[in-house]
Structure 1
Amino acid sequence: MRKSPRILALAFASVLSTFVSGCGDELADTEAPVDSTRAALACSTRITYGDRWIRPSGHTSQYDIASDLVTWNGTCVNEGTNSYAVLSNGWKPYFTGNNACVLALDTDCAGATACATRITYAASWLKPSGHTAQYDDAGGRVFWDRGCTNEGSNSYAVLSNGWKPYFSGSGACGMSFRYTGCGGLYQNPVVNADCADPGVIHDGTRYVAACTSGGAANAFALRTSTDLVTWTSAGHIFPSASKPTWATGDFWAPEIHKVGTRFIAYFTARHSDGKLSIGAATSASALGPFTDRGQPLVHDTGMGMIDATFFQDTAGVPYLVWKADGNAVGQATPIYGQQLAADGLSLVGTRRTLMSNNLAWEGGVVEAPWVVARGGYYYLFYSGNSYANSTYAVGVARATSPLGPYTKLGNPILKTGGGWVGPGHNSVVTGPGGDTYMVYHAWNSAHTARVMLVDQMTWPNGWPAVPSAPSAGSRPMP
């Protein structure tokens, strides 16, 4: 009689309890004592399962650690409405759905490789002429959002690297993914708490994130991470006793940047005259303590000024870019740019208008700028439309000079999808593996908090893209 996935999963769990990692860690799903006389394992493999894994009862983690080198050929076998993989050590993890196997294998054994992806196609795949294998291998991280587009009597999927496999039949797309040497898997959100407008940098040691705090007693919560996925609380830019004396509340959109030998936190707060203004505070460390400059850096008695970001051009000249809060008073919302003094604490030169809201999808707002220099261009990322609903999205423009003129790509590169609503106000950082990542917020399913998400970026045809994002399923670690 064929055993059910449930019975097999339980049997699978019982086998796992005999293994420990090469570092001596016990498996998360067992309390069995370790034999202290047992020789240390020569090497081990960490097996991380995708989000559709049918987790054995009592197994609390999303991974297992096995002794020795464990491999998988990428084949995913369908059984009823589920599917399973057979690993080289005989383990047989099950997944919900057909062709749903996603596994990451990371080993310290001989034979370990750089990050690579194997995509194994379902039997419905329309194999290209001369292609003898049922799979393709690709360097780096390749993923799919499980979208399937019908075209005539066939269907196709679009992978993150631009590949477009076709399948026989409507809605027939099916692929499994094996990641080796990529560091495991993660799933959004990476911060499952209110963390709107995340400003993220790498301070030379770790990633540091600061988020909008509004009217909270302590302003701008700080978090740190070494991998962009696991974040640890690290205090605040302004604990309650050290808030700027000129500010009365509405602490929004903080970013910390290294300027010279110190760090400067640029932020928005409401001035005592009622106008939103941009402040700046300095510290020897990205984690503070920060000392406010004593007055706003950008203040206009006629209109609020918000959402400041800092960047340096390729010659090292510093600039500040920010948004005029025109939508609050029924006016346009230009994004301005202006050169900063070398110390980053005063504006010099002439203010320029870099863009305004002139595309239909932007509605009445462009805001939340972030600038990246790459390949001879300055890329200005921004968010448009209403932060409160599904119209909010991320767009991009580029220029060959830091203060423009900027040309917009047109359509947004990130918008509502994957169960996430209103993604926006992003940072762009280089991940631990060298790829580019977008860190941004989106509303959770209950629409009670803007949580923090991370997704990989690509750069096809000289423009940035965030393929298959916002992501909901498992992705290879940054």
Structure 2
Amino acid sequence: MGAALSGLGCGGEETRTGEEGVGMSQAPLACSTRITYGSAWIHPGRESMVDVASGAVTWDGTCVNEGSNSYAVLSNGWKPYFTGNNACVMAFDSDCSGAQTCGTRITYGPKWIRAGTGTYDDAGGRVFWDRACVNEGSNSYGVLSNGWKPYFTGANGCAMSFRYTGCGGLYTNPVFPTDCADPGVIFDGGKYIAVCTSGGAAAAFPIRTSSDLITWTGAGHIFPSGTRPSWAKGDFWAPEIHRVGSRYIAYYTARHTNGVLSIGAASASSPLGPFTDLGRPLVHDVNMGMIDATFFTDTAGTKYLVWKADGNAVGQKTPLYAQALSADGLALTGSRVTLMTNDRSWEGGVVEAPWVVARDGYYYLFYSGNAYYDGRYAIGVARATSPLGPYTKASAPILKTVSGWEGPGHGSVVTSPSGTSVMVYHAWNAAHSARVMLVDAIVWSNGWPSMPGAPSLQSRPLP
């Protein structure tokens, strides 16, 4: 059954809805509720996934199955329908009662094995489920992002609906649906800034900005058409922009005119440019390609560059190196140190795409491994108490291929608008024609990060 007429407001008044303008109110609303529907919402003829309703509107979390679909009944009487059973997911953000603390209501289906008489749990923050149901003996369970494992009677008995209140809405991957491989992302000046691989395009490294990590706007290029550095002839890969002192440095990979992949650097007074190239490679070895540079500052203030030797191109190992940088970030100092190499079976012939985060007394080195072009590609993590190691690897990747997203990799770790950790990374689209940009939450527990239910397929609360 499809969606009914959108937008009955409180007391039978029309709701002010999303971008189509159905039932737009002529007078300002005294207060309103923004309702964001999950990706399974049935909404023929509508593009927006949002309604704005007059007054305070909520939902008790109950999802009613009807045939092959399901529906919820909101407090104003509106009944949104969703494709599939137990598929109700919505977010409610209201200005009627002032600021709201983000919270999740998880309402369990009739087969839930409960300890008391309730049918739901209210949890602080953002809690979600990847909709995987694990059979165990004669029962089954689902694993939520906060570690909670509700059990249900019978095989494949898991059924849960999710209501988010005060969390800012929902999103569904990808957050950028066209090619954006190797996204390098930072937060600066009140906005997120992303740059991506551009290959052989005349304008190198598109720059995009966002206020929420979900909606991205073009903001030019590191090297607009006609300004690419003269020492580089192509293969403009894996850029990152970082604030170094009072300036911004774009570190990137490009193929030198002598044919060897090398790491370049360009500086600017703004993260949006214009950038002035160093005029020569920052890292160059005539015998080995050097790629995938990242930058970080340790807790003592020392600046480092981390990068990969492209040994897999010549049948060798692919060590990740680190070396201290000058104060301006434009020269290497000290000695090069090997942080790790590919020595785990899942990594295959490659470790690459490093990103380093300092947290709670550890340095966490996120990296990608195996073949970027297929489903073996994945993201792993290692940690150390010193910026130069030794690093201890986690036992398994924290992000790998799932049905619908192949070859997730090359991630940047940033703090979301709500203060949580997220990874921005790429994965192949269903047609395997482009590596698109995804965002998913990182959960920290017992000194290690994990990414439950990622790459995500269904709607999740805004990070």
TM surpasses 0.5: yes
In structure 1, the residue corresponding to 2:446 is in which secondary structure? helix
Give aligned-pair identity as a percent. Answer: 69
* AA matched with 2:36: T
Aligned partner (choices 38, 44, 49) of residue 37 of structure 2? 49
The CA RMSD measured in Å over matched residues stands at 1.5
2:439 corresponds in structure 1 to 454
> Which of these residues, 222, 225, 250, is aligned with residue 237 of structure 1?
222
Q: Any unmatched runs of 5+ in structure 2?
A: none
Deviations 1:70-104 (A, max 9, x none): 01111111122211111111111111111111000
How far off is 1:28 after superposition? Answer: 2.8
- The alpha-carbon deviation at position 27 of structure 1 amounts to 3.9
- Structure 1 letter corresponding to 2:20: D
Name the CA distance, whole Å, in 1 between partners of 2:387 and 2:40: 45
Q: 1:314 aligns with which of 299, 309, 320?
A: 299
Counting only pairs closer than 5 Å after superposition, residues 255-404 of structure 1 correspond to structure 2 as 255-404=240-389
Q: Does the CA-based 8 Å contact 1:115-1:140 persist in structure 2? A: yes
Task: In structure 2, give the amino acid aligned to 1:426.
Answer: G
Cα distance in 2, alignment partners of residues 222 and 407 from structure 1: 34
Q: Which residue of 2 aligns with 1:416?
A: 401
Q: Distance in 1 between matches of 2:276 and 2:144?
A: 47
SS where residue 447 of structure 1 aligns?
coil
Aligned partner (choices 146, 150, 158) of residue 161 of structure 1: 146
Match of 1:327, SS state, is: helix
Structure 1 residue 174 displacement after superposition: 0.5
Task: Render the CA deviation track for 1:432-476: whole Å, top value 9, x for unaligned.
Answer: 000000000000000000000000110111101111000011000
Contact 1:201 1:256 in 2 (8 A): yes
Question: Mean alpha-carbon deviation: is it higher for 80-89 or for 170-179?
Answer: 80-89
Asked whether the 8 Å contact 2:9–2:15 carries over to 1, the reply is no
Task: Indicate if the aligned counterparts of 2:8 and 2:78 stay in contact, CA closer than 8 A.
Answer: no
Whether the aligned pair in 1 keeps the contact of 2:408 and 2:428 (CA below 8 Å) is yes
Q: CA deviation at 1:18?
A: 5.8
Q: How does 1:108-123 map to 2 (within 5 A)?
A: 108-110=95-97, 112-123=99-110
Match of 1:407 in 2: 392
Contact 1:106 1:112 in 2 (8 A): no
- The one-letter code sitting in structure 1 at the alignment partner of 2:33 is T
Q: Does 1:90 align with 2:77?
A: yes
Judged with a 3 Å threshold, the aligned counterparts in structure 2 of structure 1 residues 63 and 33 are, in CA distance, closer, same or farther, namely closer
Q: TM-score, normalised by structure 1?
A: 0.94
Counterpart of 2:63? 76
Between the two proteins, the alignment pairs up a number of residues equal to 462
Q: Which residue of 2 aligns with 1:28?
A: 19
Secondary structure, aligned partner of 1:123:
coil
The 1-side partners of 2:128 and 2:107 are apart by: 12
How far apart are the structure 2 equivalents of 1:385 and 1:457? 22
Structure 2 Cα separation of the partners of residues 350 and 64 of structure 1: 58
Which whole-Å CA distance do the structure 1 matches of 2:232 and 2:18 have between them?
Answer: 51
Tell me which amino acid in the other structure corresponds to 1:48: T
Question: Contact between 1:155 and 1:172, CA under 8 Å: does it hold in 2?
Answer: yes
Give the alignment's TM-score, normalised by structure 2: 0.97
2:4 corresponds in structure 1 to 10
In structure 2, what is the Cα distance between the partners aligned to 1:213 and 1:405? 34
| Structure 1: segments with no counterpart, 5+ residues | none
Tell me whether 1:199 sits opposite 2:190 in the alignment.
Answer: no
Q: Assess, with a 3 A threshold, how the Cα gap between structure 1 residues 377 and 243 changes in structure 2: closer, same or farther.
A: same
Deviation at 1:207, TM superposition (A): 0.2
